[in-house]
Structure 1
Amino acid sequence: MEELYTLEREVGRGSYGVVFEGHMAKTGQRVAIKRLPCSNPECIELYLQELWAMRATAKNHVNVIALHSCLLQTGPRSLKTLIPGKLPPRLVESVLKGSVVEAPQSQEKNNTEQRTNSVSRLQDRTNTVQARPKHQTKTKSNASDSTTPQRPQNKAKKRPAEKEEEQPEPLSCLALWLVMEYCDGGDLNQYLLSSPPDSQRDHSVVRQLCSAVAFLHSLGITHRDLKPDNVLVCVTPRGPIVKVADFGLSKMSEGLVDGELTSQHFSSTCGSDFYMAPEVWGGLTYTAQADIFSLGVMFWAVLERITFLEEGATQEQLGAYVCKGRSGWLMPLGEALWENADLQLCIPMKFKRAPPLPPPPGPAMCTLLLDMLAFDPDARPPADQLEARVHSALTEDSH
């Protein structure tokens, strides 16, 4: 059965791709459609990591963004649905070889000829994917000349191809399209900072994020870029439902082995400055416990409504930090702890909070935040214990 997705408008743009709001033509269901151009092996590797992680989570947790389908663009307006559990061989080969692998000429020509038979298509109202007019070589024909002797082509002399359609389509025209559930509340920054503080809502957000990360870690998925920008919000009559998204930097390990969580070590420095753990800042090997540190920064910011502005930006972001010097220069917590492992964090923060101010977190929650932000990764609570500890701390502080 053919699925037709319609692109309505662009809703987000990042370093690697563009996200559109769209809908399924047959059902009218709104979806988010993310276009990831496959222009170099480094980007392709990130896209395949994201696809693999999203397939692993499938639609099994309410607080993790759901992937509906993935399409591979093989021509200007030709797409095909990827088979679940498999990755496009040509893109995998590009990653392994470290250079973009182009399709064979005959394959690209076949893709172009069969574009009307593609399983899935996108109807674009934003002009992002445009059908490109082909260059056609016109030749004169005359029925009376059908028997005219023709001069044989000189096969010994090589000539450049004259027809554009005979050239292989460069892989830079290809892209992955991820069709995901649509979140109408924007990201966590937009949602929380657009309304007055609400402690009950903030506590719900914290609990949901705990549940999402515990689920991901149980599958052996380390997100590695947890931050408010990568948490989307669905607005419902019962309150916000948050969704962890953007798995481009995620890594997968074996998950549970003999009932125990593996502690795979990673070495590449990645993430966003204000949410990175000290061991990541220091270039050390690290584990999934780096995600717990990122959560700690987010929780502290959400519960106290702590915001900052990055240089050159105009949009406030939720995030905790350390002020350095008389000028009040902001320093990421992970960087500050890497420079001074004995640094004492002041929770709750007494300054630089965004008005109107919510009540500060209670003693039990402050203790838990300090544990999540510990310099030693092993001192941080693991994800499978965090949800219970958050519930216990919030309950204790409410009394």
Structure 2
Amino acid sequence: MSCYASLVKPSSKLLLIVLISDYIFCRLSGDEFCIVIKDITASFQSQFADTLISCLRNGMLLSVGELRISISIGIATSEPNTKSFEDLMALADAAMYYAKKRGKNQYKLFDQSIAQDVLFRKQVAEKLRVALENNEFHLNFMPIYHVDSLKIHSAEVLIRCNAKSLQSIGPDIYIPIAEEFGLIKDIDLWVIETTFALISQHSDFIEQAQLSIAINISSLELHNTLFIQDIKKLITDYNIDTQCIQMEITETSLIETDELTITTLQALQNLGIKLALDDFGMGYTAFSQLINYPVDCLKIDKSFIDSLMLYKESEKSVLKAIFSIANAYHLSTTAEGVEEVAQLEYIRNNNCDYVQGYLLSKPMPWDSFVKEVTSPKTHDL
């Protein structure tokens, strides 16, 4: 007997518990639901998913208006080596992960390619655990410059791994895996504490140079009830002047903002820490919503800067709108990924405040960063 399990994740939270003849449809937690069907054919799986997506795409008419829902569906079928229902659910969950990566209203059947990638992610997660235990990480610093003077204003902290087992795997790969396997909080705290220790050691230099240090934090910290407590302790332990600290969160982490998210951000601001919205433009935040977020800076995503070289007026119009809105809301702006002189000239002419990118500098160790601040290169740009 085959058993079909499908995990469904609507983008809008809707509470449903339904029993339909041969189907079991129940809520698992939050906005995740499960459908279990016995004795079905392979062709029926795709047909069923298509029908479900089509039905929900049409929307639901409620007394207060129309509700539209998009979903991601992961599908798995029991095989002779499927040992338990929990194993089957894990396969469906893995398939749903890939469906979500494709975008809204997508489904994915569990297959061998997913199985191989699941194994890869598990192996990377284990290597990350070992690297944390062995303290096999270090920090690099990406200089951020004033647009007009090209004097260094601050540095973005970037984590790097020394472990040979992770030598060919960059943070763009292992950070999402760390989030998936519950390791990101330990990594975040390691980065923050290591940075605070360095700031404490070089506090006179940082104060004299009027530098700010920017630290990336995972969106998961916005729902970590212990995060603010941990930050307060580290501030006290290392006697940190929080005026030199900025924390960066990605814009996409605010797509589904709730009360706890806002409370956490406000608590960070109350500690004197500045907040930056990283990769801005990728999460499609409505400009009108910015006033609701306690942030101080917009970091414009590299893709917008790259598009300047395509000479598309539509892309330039979006950038101009971002700069205008930021100015109206008294937010500073940083252009990320500037690699061409023409890009620098454009953001200069549109009142951008700060710039970072390979045109001016690559990430570097702390000692090299200090030399860059004290004996800066001449940028004739």
| TM-score, structure 2 normalization | 0.27
- Select the structure of larger CA radius of gyration: 1
Q: TM-score, normalised by structure 1?
A: 0.26
Structure that is richer in helix per residue: 2
Higher relative contact order (CA 8 A, sep 6+): 1
